[in-house]
Amino acid sequence: MGYDFDLFTLGAGSGGVAASRRAGSYGARVAIAEGSRVGGTCVLRGCVPKKLLVYGSHFRDEIEDARGFGWTVGEVTFDWRKLVEAKNKELDRLSGIYVRMLHDAGVKILEGRATLVDSHTVEVLGERHTARQILIATGGWPVLPPIPGIEHAITSNEALDLPSLPRRVVIVGGGYVAVEFAGIFNAAGADVKVLVRADAVLRGFDQDLRSTLGEQMRKRGVDVRCETIVRSLEKEPDGTISVRLAGGELLEADAVLYATGRAPNTRGLGLEEVGVKTDEGGAVVVDDQSRTSVPGIYAVGDVTDRINLTPVAIAEGRAFAESVFHARPMQMDHEGIPSAVFSQPPCATVGLTEVEARAKGRPIDVYRARFRPMKHTLSGRDEQTMMKLVVDRESDRVLGAHMVGADAPEIIQGLAIALKCGATKAQLDATVGIHPTAAEEFVTMRDPVPEPHGHPAL
């Protein structure tokens, strides 16, 4: 049977574009369908715009710190609208680059949301197309809980495009989106409250990282409230939003941002009708080759809810293209993936947390350093950096590295390479540090912290 295309990709985000470009470069006839703009979550609604807003808001720190270094700074004003406009201009540029890259690889772009008709047929805006292989890369989308008044809340999508800076912001959630926007809005001058259901921010991260970040956020004036549950929202006639907590307390806000999670963007794709298996959360179930339950249909990126990070989606997409269109079988290695949170201060991590390492039942050593960054000896800022290593005692292999503080993402990227290569603590000790830097602390930690009570053997 002749097909219209060798590959039809649903979704032009990071994973879909990476797979389509590479398949096209190997001579495949490729089409990609996108119901929104080309670029996906990372470029348009996530990593890139968020990091630009982080950069913009961080100038407040730089201006304040400059006085300690002899600079006299005059009257300072901040225009939120100008920052958002500049951000949008950059997103337009990046989306255009993605479109051009697809065109250069010979990929046909179809504007419209695609749905599956059968294992080799998709439909876009009423027109059907056949393909030998189909790739689902539709990503994820923020979800809102069904509480009274939830229609008055915004998600990260809308938060990136607010026309003006809200004076009072309540952020519900304690994950990376919540703490990143807390830093942005706080530094921009808003009054920020973060309501966390758990006992600390960043559930799933190392406990020392979690507690350190919560402490530093509070020092910056963010009101972080843990073990707090929201019951309802109500909009007042003057536009104020009342947030009712489980204990009955009422908070007032000009904007309520819900950052309580994302769900795979699979609704209405026709997966069930075609027989593509999904889990209870709606994620497409795949094997280690990104194959779904239907032969010829694959899925990569956040829609599979494996590790929801842009570089992971790109790597999964490339492995798919290499395997299917280049006769070079590859699979994504999901072990030892580093990640960062662009909070203020930022955090980064790679490998096992202390709790995860202890759960394996092998003796470990933990090394931890806390210090005031050299910059702040003159700036006067009350901020601490925390660095931590988790080491397997018997093999001396470094199992995890965690950091809160300036440049944490840049520093952990290098350590991620070391961990991927199986670095030992002795090898870190034998590495000469670059002085004076914060990063050198990772190669100068000599004494493990005392064993916590209750873990004498581990």
Query: Mind telling me the catalytic residues?
Result: 435
Give, in order, the Cα–Cα distances in Å from 189 to each of 34, 88, 119.
Answer: 37, 21, 52
Give, in order, the Cα–Cα distances in Å from 412 to each of 118, 201, 406, 417.
Answer: 44, 20, 11, 9
Could you give the 3-state DSSP secondary structure of residue 261?
coil
Contact 41, 13 (CB under 8 A): yes
Query: What residues contact residue 259 under an 8 Å CB cut-off, 6+ apart?
Result: 142, 155, 156, 171, 172, 173, 175, 177, 178, 181
**Which helix (H) or strand (E) covers residue 186, if one does?**
helix 176-188
Cα-only R_g, the chain: 24
- Whole-angstrom distance, CA of residue 50 vs CA of residue 160: 7
Give, in order, the Cα–Cα distances in Å from 170 to each of 10, 245, 257, 317.
Answer: 35, 12, 6, 37
- Whole-angstrom distance, CA of residue 183 vs CA of residue 220: 9
Contact 299, 313 (CB under 8 A): no
3-state secondary structure 426-448: HHHHCCCCCCCCCHHHHHCCCCC
Written as one letter, the residue type at 308 is N
DSSP strand E in 323-381: where? 339-341, 347-351, 364-371
- Whole-angstrom distance, CA of residue 39 vs CA of residue 102: 11
Contact 166, 253 (CB under 8 A): yes
Residue for token pair 């999670």: 261
Instruction: Give one DSSP letter per residue of 385-400, joined into a string.
Output: EEEEEEEETTT-BEEE
**Residues facing residue 235 across a β-bridge:** 241
Question: Longest C-alpha distance within the chain, in Å?
Answer: 75
| H helix intervals, 228-384 | 271-274, 310-325, 354-359, 375-379
Contact 368, 377 (CB under 8 A): no
